[in-house]
A and B are shown apart, each in its own frame.
Chain A
């Protein structure tokens, strides 16, 4: 089972700037934020987890606080078709070299599109309460459905 999300040590632990809530006199002018800690060249060819993001980037910040249901991924059934990766509106399906690795719960809003487009039987992604333990969720996975005639 592969629920490990690739990322930097920082990733996903920060609400946007919540760890240092400064006053009005210290916020940046015009809400301008610097996403990278150092100058970056050719950023399109560097994987997100290898970029030197600051705390004030949309990568390190979690924006999933309003999620109610979350998709849980079952690697035993998944056929790595990449349908969920293609359809996810928040780039929250983590796939490397056409291998499905898991879900980025810091950016997934719980829309359920990935579950809808999953073609396997039973589905490799199912929606559970966002607070559900992943092992408990996987233990409740349904059996393969028989074809209806």
Chain B
């Protein structure tokens, strides 16, 4: 029996520490990890809880992130509650096994501390790793601050392990901005948190010796398609489970989460759509701009990046007077529009409202996204709205030195 950890009603925790406490409170059976900046303290924390008797689990030291996720898949197939953490290059090395985990329907929780991908080598936060894994078949939750990192890590186990879902879950937070910034956090007591997460219910576990099972079978053109379709449906259908888990969490803590978070949107004419800690920056800018210039600015923030909340994005757009949206992508798009821009545009295309939508590539490699810059972007959206068409290139770069860089002009006015 694990020892109870002494926790105050209000703690000052950074995102990493909050996440490691959530892993401990969920009594994760196995963490196999290869530490990497800036996610290291998550698995380091879990390791110290094991060593000091605060969790009944195993910390498995492995030789790479590929091995880390492989060991997680093995432990999950054996029938345990499993989690790990990674960032950036480590995430990239894990990628092959991420697809194995989701295809094998193992509800592993991967806490990702978002960091840029080399080259150039960079330890700071952007969303290159999040975007790399977006088609891997995992549920993707996004925390904007330390409190949310704690809350959503607990929710991640409930969602992924639900018998109607049985899919792995990534819980993202911004490198350094969230992971290393000490903030006020309201944690749950150990027994309350564990009761919320619940006992792990194994499915087709290899340690059940009375019933032999084969995991990781090969299929070819005759079976692969059906299995991937079933997996995709489970991911799409997980939306109802996510909503239900968020509702339970609100009933327990009073803290409300939605698959799409909206701020000041009821009367908003312009909005910024963003992920991660930039959401709070944009919100601050919207509040100030409303006071200073009377611009009706709001913020839309997908809390769940996969399954992408097309349904709710459409509802949000059609239930507000939005005329122009700036969609912020914190990842180098590699010859395309940003991924979030593409998703939002796809959702908006079938709305009645059909606002003007532009794309900003910003914050790469941890470049700061300031309140002033968010205000400038809001004002630019206001100019589009007033003109009735997009007055700039559709894709622009925010916070970039040198001559202005942009791509694609609108043909629609």
Query: A95 interface residue, CB < 8 Å from B?
Result: no
Residues 89-123 of B contacting A (Cβ, < 8 Å): 103-106
Report the interface size class on chain B: 20 to 34
Q: A12-36 vs B: 1/0 string, CB under 8 Å?
A: 0001111001111101011111111
The interface residues of chain B lying within 8 Å CB-to-CB of A40 are 212
Are the CB atoms of B227 and A18 closer together than 8 Å?
no
B207, chain A: closest CB distance, angstroms: 14
The interface residues of chain B lying within 8 Å CB-to-CB of A3 are none
Are the CB atoms of B212 and A24 closer together than 8 Å?
no
Q: B224-241 vs A: 1/0 string, CB under 8 Å?
A: 011101100110000000
Of the listed stretches B213-221, B348-356, B388-396, chain A binds: B213-221
Query: A83 interface residue, CB < 8 Å from B?
Result: no
The interface residues of chain B lying within 8 Å CB-to-CB of A32 are 104-105, 204, 213-215, 217
Q: How many A-B residue pairs have CB under 8 A?
A: 68
Query: B223 interface residue, CB < 8 Å from A?
Result: yes
Q: Name B226's contact: one of A23, A43, A56 (CB within 8 Å).
A: A23
Known: A34-B211, A35-B212, A39-B210. Is A27-B223 also a contact (CB below 8 A)?
yes
Tell me the complex Cα distance, A31–B104, Å: 6
The interface residues of chain A lying within 8 Å CB-to-CB of B105 are 29-30, 32
The interface residues of chain A lying within 8 Å CB-to-CB of B166 are 29-30
Residues 179-212 of B contacting A (Cβ, < 8 Å): 203-204, 210-212
Q: Name A15's contact: one of B104, B211, B217, B222 (CB within 8 Å).
A: B222
Tell me the complex Cα distance, A33–B230, Å: 15
With both beta carbons as reference points, the residue of chain A lying nearest to B232 in the complex is identified as A24
A117, chain B: closest CB distance, angstroms: 28
Known: A15-B222, A17-B223, A30-B215. Is A24-B230 also a contact (CB below 8 A)?
yes
Query: A57 interface residue, CB < 8 Å from B?
Result: yes
Tell me the complex Cα distance, A34–B106, Å: 17
Tell me the complex Cα distance, A69–B85, Å: 48
With both beta carbons as reference points, the residue of chain B lying nearest to A38 in the complex is identified as B211
B209, chain A: closest CB distance, angstroms: 9
Are the CB atoms of A33 and B210 closer together than 8 Å?
no
Tell me the complex Cα distance, A34–B223, Å: 16
Tell me the complex Cα distance, A33–B105, Å: 13
Tell me the complex Cα distance, A40–B208, Å: 12
B69, chain A: closest CB distance, angstroms: 16
A26, chain B: closest CB distance, angstroms: 8
Tell me the complex Cα distance, A118–B406, Å: 69
A34, chain B: closest CB distance, angstroms: 6
Q: Name B219's contact: one of A23, A31, A57 (CB within 8 Å).
A: A31
B37, chain A: closest CB distance, angstroms: 33
Tell me the complex Cα distance, A29–B165, Å: 10
User: Top 4 closest A-B pairs, CB basis?
Assistant: A30-B105, A24-B229, A24-B226, A33-B214
Apart from the given pairs A27-B226, A31-B227, 8 other A-B contacts in the complex at a CB distance below 8 Å? A24-B227, A24-B233, A25-B230, A30-B105, A32-B104, A32-B105, A36-B212, A43-B212
Ordered by A's residue number, 14 sampled pairs between the chains whose C-beta atoms are within 8 Å are: A24-B226, A24-B230, A25-B230, A27-B223, A27-B227, A29-B203, A29-B204, A29-B234, A30-B166, A31-B104, A32-B105, A32-B213, A32-B215, A57-B214
